[in-house]
Structure 1
Amino acid sequence: MVESYDEALNFIHGRTKFKKSKHLNRMQKFLELLGDPQREISAIHVAGTNGKGSTVAYLRDLLMAQGYTVGTFTSPFLVRFNERISVDGKPISDSELVKLVNRVQPTVADLDANYPEGGPTEFEIITAMMFLYFKTRVDVAVVEVGIGGLLDSTNVFTPAVSVITTIGFDHMKILGNTLPEIAAQKAGIIKLAVPVVAGRLPDSAMQVVERTADSNQSALYRLGHEVTTRIKSETGWQEKFDYQFNDQLFKGLKISMLGDYQVDNASCALTAFILYQKQHHQKVNQSEVARSLAKTTWAGRFEPLNQDPLIVIDGAHNEPAIEELTALLKQRFSDNEIYILFGVLADKQHDKMLSTLRTVPNLHVILTTFQGPGTRAVTDPKELANQYQDDQRIEVIDNWQLAIGTVLQRMSAEDLFLITGSLYFISDVRAFFKEP
């Protein structure tokens, strides 16, 4: 028995982080011993290299606007662990978390002692706790995949709709080194006769998704094909677009998260929502949809922390996300000097990420370091800077708090200060700015 919140977290975080496996047998056995709570949940499953969190947030708000009680399962967390398991946007309470740990602990001990592969990992335990918590509390859950899809511990239920937001290079050690290999993992969430929504995927990845959907007799709705959007030029802190899917036409939808990729995320969410409503013989109210999308926010995704001067954080923690971010900077901030503070984990493509950022013309980059999670190493900023000795726009300040102070002294009121890289780094920075 654990008595306190800290003990509960220590139990969860004390588990093995990752065990390579070619199947989900251990997770399925774990859930079977807990009464198979995943079978009693109506849910939408969201996979993708990037865009999962924002898509989950748009879906949550769309569903809540219809009066549903909505559970969301996301990772990682930005401020507190409890955010990962939330109902109607409110994180699980400390006391409920303690109860859930006590509920699963005997089963974990049983599997540790008796299951051939040993007991469940940290993420398997959190996933099982989520299913138990949502079983009696929510009308619908929006479940974000941890890594990949096919062998992810969330991939143990039949969703109402599957969503694959984007496919790019990340977690290659686990998912494979080519886009088709990565796509095969993501497409693993496609289930027999369950409709699939796909974002703008590279051709080689889309072909894998199309084949998988076809073999599962699953209707596939692709952004740019069955679903179309038209982005309208917009000023201020918003994007505006038209959206069409079948007989549903929405003109002048607005979202408060910047970037063409956020229009894609909102469109994936809206398509999944329309499909969900259709399955449940419910109408789609256009004005409620417009209101809901306009108010959705997702912490740490091009989130302004301060307006004057403009300070923004963005958890662009892999190369595909940096590409999207770079396009946004060129499109919306071409008239501003841009100061970037960049810190990233060592297992990411940091050299490619930096070389992409360097294509922004009006740029000043400070490389820094931060306290990584557990034993995961952080990129050495000096080593990274050495690759670009001829670029005067790049410098190193190891202490990120000192780096923030330095940039604030240098920048003018018209400049943009963007702090980006690992979500763990962004979490620390956000706490630094938001602390009373």
Structure 2
Amino acid sequence: MNKYYINVFLKQTAIIWCKRCVSNFKTVMSPCEDNFYKQAIVALNALQSNQKYINNINKNSYKFNNFEKFLNRAGIKVDDLDQLSIIHVSGTKGKGTTCAFCENILQQHGYKTGFFSSPHLLEVRERIRVNGIPLEREKFGNYFWDVYRKLDLVKEHSTDMPGYFAFLTIVAFYVFLKEKVDVALVEVGIGGESDCTNIIK
């Protein structure tokens, strides 16, 4: 095979490979056909942003015990979290890597793991994993609405809901308790003493 045919072969192979990559990317990024899941994402995105949450803390208008209130409304007591063996990971860099190492080691020894991290790459359900696998869209939607309805039912006013990250933290705890994981790996969110993951004892 001469140089010309080798170049043609390589170009054709590259084109096929690129088409497959684009096809796979489109499959991952295509809109979810399940309205239940799509509605969950819309409701989640409507919650208070992390930036607004931080601004409220700076204005001293936010009390940390609000998170415990939301947790209780979702049917989770702080003592319930004691059922989970939690590895709480903080720091500026390397949280995800540290959690990934721990997750892999624990799974190799037969433990069922839960992993809550941020941010996500493609879909928000990537933030909550069980045994290294992100929740399926249907399961994420079911757990999301279980928590959302409980909180929405007893809210005292229109904005009496947790923010984006705080809500996902509650969902993660809810999932880990329901799925009966052996060990939960939890990354901090905004960090500092006002981070809602500090509810962990």
Same fold, TM-score > 0.5, yes or no: yes
User: Could you tell me how far apart the structure 2 residues matched to 1:107 and 1:143 are?
Assistant: 23
User: Could you tell me how far apart the structure 1 residues matched to 2:154 and 2:193 are?
Assistant: 23
Structure 2 match to 1:24: 64
CA positional deviation for 1:34: 2.1
Q: Does 1:35 align with 2:67?
A: no
Q: Does 1:78 align with 2:148?
A: no
User: Could you tell me how far apart the structure 2 residues matched to 1:98 and 1:129 are?
Assistant: 11
CA positional deviation for 1:114: 4.5
- Higher relative CO (Cα under 8 Å, sequence separation at least 6) belongs to 2
State whether residues 71 and 140 of structure 1, in contact with CA within 8 Å, keep that contact through their aligned partners in structure 2. yes
5 Å-filtered alignment, 1:371-386, equals: none
Q: Per the alignment, in what secondary structure is the counterpart of residue 114 of structure 2?
A: strand
User: Could you tell me how far apart the structure 2 residues matched to 1:119 and 1:45 are?
Assistant: 24
5 Å-filtered alignment, 1:301-320, equals: none
User: Could you tell me how far apart the structure 2 residues matched to 1:78 and 1:147 are?
Assistant: 18
State whether residues 111 and 119 of structure 1, in contact with CA within 8 Å, keep that contact through their aligned partners in structure 2. no
Alignment counterpart, residue 131 of structure 1, candidates 173, 185, 188: 173
State whether residues 3 and 98 of structure 1, in contact with CA within 8 Å, keep that contact through their aligned partners in structure 2. no
CA positional deviation for 1:110: 4.1
Alignment counterpart, residue 101 of structure 1, candidates 144, 157, 170: 144
* 94 and 103 in structure 1: CA distance in 2 versus 1, 3 angstrom threshold: same
More strand by share: 1
State whether residues 38 and 157 of structure 1, in contact with CA within 8 Å, keep that contact through their aligned partners in structure 2. yes
User: Could you tell me how far apart the structure 2 residues matched to 1:65 and 1:149 are?
Assistant: 32
User: Could you tell me how far apart the structure 1 residues matched to 2:73 and 2:151 are?
Assistant: 10
Structure 2 match to 1:4: 36
Structure 2 match to 1:13: 45
The count of corresponding residues between Structure 1 and Structure 2 is 156
List gaps (5 residues or longer) in structure 2.
1-33
Q: Per the alignment, in what secondary structure is the counterpart of residue 151 of structure 2?
A: helix
CA positional deviation for 1:75: 0.3
Q: Per the alignment, in what secondary structure is the counterpart of residue 72 of structure 2?
A: helix
State whether residues 116 and 128 of structure 2, in contact with CA within 8 Å, keep that contact through their aligned partners in structure 1. yes
TM-score if structure 2 supplies the norm length?
Answer: 0.71
User: Could you tell me how far apart the structure 2 residues matched to 1:124 and 1:143 are?
Assistant: 13
State whether residues 73 and 142 of structure 1, in contact with CA within 8 Å, keep that contact through their aligned partners in structure 2. yes
TM-score if structure 1 supplies the norm length?
Answer: 0.34
Structure 2 match to 1:92: 135
User: Could you tell me how far apart the structure 1 residues matched to 2:143 and 2:96 are?
Assistant: 24
> Once superposed, which parts of structure 1, at least 4 consecutive aligned residues long, lie more than 3 Å away?
none
CA RMSD of aligned residues (A): 2.0
Structure 2 match to 1:120: 162
User: Could you tell me how far apart the structure 2 residues matched to 1:114 and 1:91 are?
Assistant: 33
Q: Per the alignment, in what secondary structure is the counterpart of residue 195 of structure 2?
A: coil
Alignment counterpart, residue 186 of structure 2, candidates 132, 143, 146: 143
Q: Does 1:68 align with 2:68?
A: no
Structure 2 match to 1:48: 91
List gaps (5 residues or longer) in structure 1.
159-436
User: Could you tell me how far apart the structure 2 residues matched to 1:15 and 1:98 are?
Assistant: 16
